[in-house]
Structure 1
């Protein structure tokens, strides 16, 4: 395992009460109730937070890749992330899909940008080989 040469940022949160609790970041920018998926209770859940974080990071990686490849990305670029919580045998596991919309971008160029982003995005690196991931251009 590689250790970081330079720490650029550290996200700090405190969660109390688990899936039925509360999450707050040290700077107060994240301050939300947590609730189990499908419970109908106020709040978000870890799967939604993971989906939002990964798709935001992935879009940043796409912008870096597009700049390097001299490809213009559309202003209406969008990523719809889906993170499933399920069971394998007696254990819990995640799987995920990133559905990427790049209107007006040549399909071959879009694929090149997405492939590079998936190679370099820290979330993609963290999940690679650990969970089933599907990335599609829609």
Structure 2
């Protein structure tokens, strides 16, 4: 079991309406979105919970990746993380998520990028939250220069 953190920041959002076809907003107005149910056939015209989760996870993991490099005293030119959050049934009336994190690490070699990714996985709060609950695949690609 993970130790309870000493919370220094709390994000707040409220969902209203018909759940996945409802609305989500934050009290500060930074988030104010209508939601749609994900549909594998059409391109959504509004956000859905999986898109919001992918946004948060990609930002969090990228921050952890950069922090891990810094803590390991590795010069990293830049990094980009794309999170792909999939949803689907696992049994009748039960659904689950699957995540793929695609990491691009600039200015380092592949082996070093993989070492940083392993450390980032232990530092990222999202990774720690989903470990053992959601299948997460991390794909790391080293790019020798930023312009490549």
State the TM-score, normalized to the length of structure 2. Answer: 0.86
Alignment correspondent of 2:22: 21
Using the TM superposition, give the Cα deviation of residue 74 of structure 1 relative to its aligned residue in structure 2, in angstroms.
Answer: 2.2
Distance in 1, matches of 2:69 and 2:50, equals: 28
**What SS does the corresponding residue of 1:54 show, helix, strand or coil?**
helix
> Could you tell me which of 85, 88, 91 is aligned with 2:90?
88
Distance in 2, matches of 1:98 and 1:45, equals: 19
> Could you tell me which of 109, 132, 140 is aligned with 1:137?
140
2:112 is equivalent to residue 98 of structure 1: no
Structure 2: runs of 5+ lacking an equivalent: 142-148
Using the TM superposition, give the Cα deviation of residue 105 of structure 1 relative to its aligned residue in structure 2, in angstroms.
Answer: 1.2
Alignment correspondent of 1:37: 38
Please tell me the root mean square deviation across aligned C-alpha atoms, in Å. Answer: 1.4
Distance in 2, matches of 1:80 and 1:65, equals: 18
**What SS does the corresponding residue of 2:7 show, helix, strand or coil?**
coil
- Give the 4+ runs in structure 1 shifted more than 3 A: 39-42
State the TM-score, normalized to the length of structure 1. Answer: 0.91
Q: Which string of whole-angstrom CA distances, capped at 9 and with x for unpartnered residues, describes residues 42-88 of structure 1?
A: 3201111111101101111112111111112223x211111110111
Distance in 2, matches of 1:97 and 1:130, equals: 14
Indicate if the aligned counterparts of 1:33 and 1:42 stay in contact, CA closer than 8 A. Answer: no
Q: Size of the alignment, in residue pairs? A: 136
